[in-house]
Homo-oligomer: A and B are copies of this chain.
């Protein structure tokens, strides 16, 4: 079973950096395992053709100790193994590795030959700013909720939020297509109610419905879309972003993606997943749980995420970080200090504490930014 690859490969490589828990020997061995597991998944001693071993199998570039029982390993993979498809790129970076404890994918370096297979975000930060007509300050976002309210009430709430000065209104991500609030009625009513700001209905949906809902949202006048790639698969984001018949700004929601980031000793780092990979897929803004909220992201992880959302990445546009997850009005000045102006501040439930009406609450949100 020892023949050469059909055609010689380019020799070009993408690299993936993993944090590995264990002794130096264990880390070195693990890195070598990964170089095989993520490519040929075949006992190296049974590969008799040296061309497959040298051209197809990954290669360990370095293994460095970075802490007690913690190592950083860089593994290079032939760009052809990742092909031109996001599913296979993710598979090479982390497919079977996801089954191994003590391995965390922390960064990737994708050469232009890989990046050019992806259009990335259609709008990015600048495109969203153009759409909402706001410069020089963070954008303000909130959600219509709770589920169970009649669609009329959600539309009225959205209308008032818009009047009060919120820039972006998204569906709560639990609003799908349930009996008590069908997608089509919601997107139609709320889109009409909030012409003055960007409404992002939730198109997280069955695989054969995502594009249909995206186009329906567009037809009803929605200004953007909300999608949870952890539920739909990451490539569904790319599909929607690339769809010329949709052409709406996309906010990614972290539901279910948390399984990748929640343990430091496994999974994918927050920054890489939300800041780089969701961006590569085409999200124009990535929602994530800010530090100090209901969830447990650290300040350092949030900084890393925000940095990656904006760092140079070939032709892939920079996107907005959207810290959320139990944020409150009193944290607005601190969040602005931390993230600067290039951020979308998303406050959901807490916003309702601050006014007798959604309009008043939204006004207080806008006021908080002026402090």
Does A295 touch B at the CB level, under 8 Å?
yes
Interface string of A1-20 (1 = CB under 8 A from B): 10111110100000000000
Which of A84, A146, A257 lies at the interface centre, i.e. has the most chain B CB atoms within 10 A of its CB? A146
List chain A positions with a Cβ less than 8 A from chain B: 1, 3-7, 9, 33, 37-43, 46-47, 49, 51-52, 55-56, 80-81, 83-88, 90-92, 94-101, 145-151, 153, 157, 172-174, 176-181, 204-211, 228, 230-233, 235-236, 238-239, 254-263, 265-268, 289, 294-296, 325, 348-350, 352-353, 358
Q: Which of B49, B81, B232 contacts A178 (CB 8 A)?
A: B81
Q: Which of B84, B263, B350 contacts A43 (CB 8 A)?
A: B350
Q: Which of B230, B262, B267 contacts A100 (CB 8 A)?
A: B262
Q: Check A255–B95 contact: CB distance below 8 A.
A: yes
Which of A47, A80, A94, A255 lies at the interface centre, i.e. has the most chain B CB atoms within 10 A of its CB? A255
Q: Check B174–A39 contact: CB distance below 8 A.
A: yes
Closest chain B residue to A179 by CB distance? B80
Q: Check A207–B204 contact: CB distance below 8 A.
A: no
Q: Check A98–B258 contact: CB distance below 8 A.
A: yes
Q: Which of B149, B179, B231 contacts A83 (CB 8 A)?
A: B179
Q: Enumerate 20 A-B pairs (CB-CB under 8 Å) in ascending A order.
A: A5-B149, A6-B150, A7-B180, A9-B180, A33-B294, A40-B172, A41-B146, A42-B146, A43-B349, A46-B349, A52-B148, A81-B174, A85-B177, A88-B176, A90-B231, A91-B204, A91-B231, A95-B255, A101-B262, A259-B260
Q: Within the complex, what minimum Cβ distance (angstroms) separates A204 from chain B?
A: 5
CB-CB < 8 A to A46: which residues of B? 349, 352-353
Q: Check A148–B236 contact: CB distance below 8 A.
A: no
Q: Check B146–A52 contact: CB distance below 8 A.
A: yes
Closest chain B residue to A205 by CB distance? B87
Q: Check B231–A206 contact: CB distance below 8 A.
A: no
Q: Check B204–A87 contact: CB distance below 8 A.
A: yes
Q: Check B233–A146 contact: CB distance below 8 A.
A: no
CB-CB < 8 A to A80: which residues of B? 178-180
Q: Within the complex, what minimum Cβ distance (angstroms) separates A16 from chain B?
A: 14
Q: Which of B91, B157, B178, B208 contacts A88 (CB 8 A)?
A: B178
Closest chain B residue to A145 by CB distance? B42
How far, in angstroms, from A178 to B242 measured CA to CA in the complex?
21
* Given A239-B207, A256-B98, A353-B46; A148-B230 close (CB under 8 Å): no
* Given A6-B151, A149-B5; A41-B99 close (CB under 8 Å): no
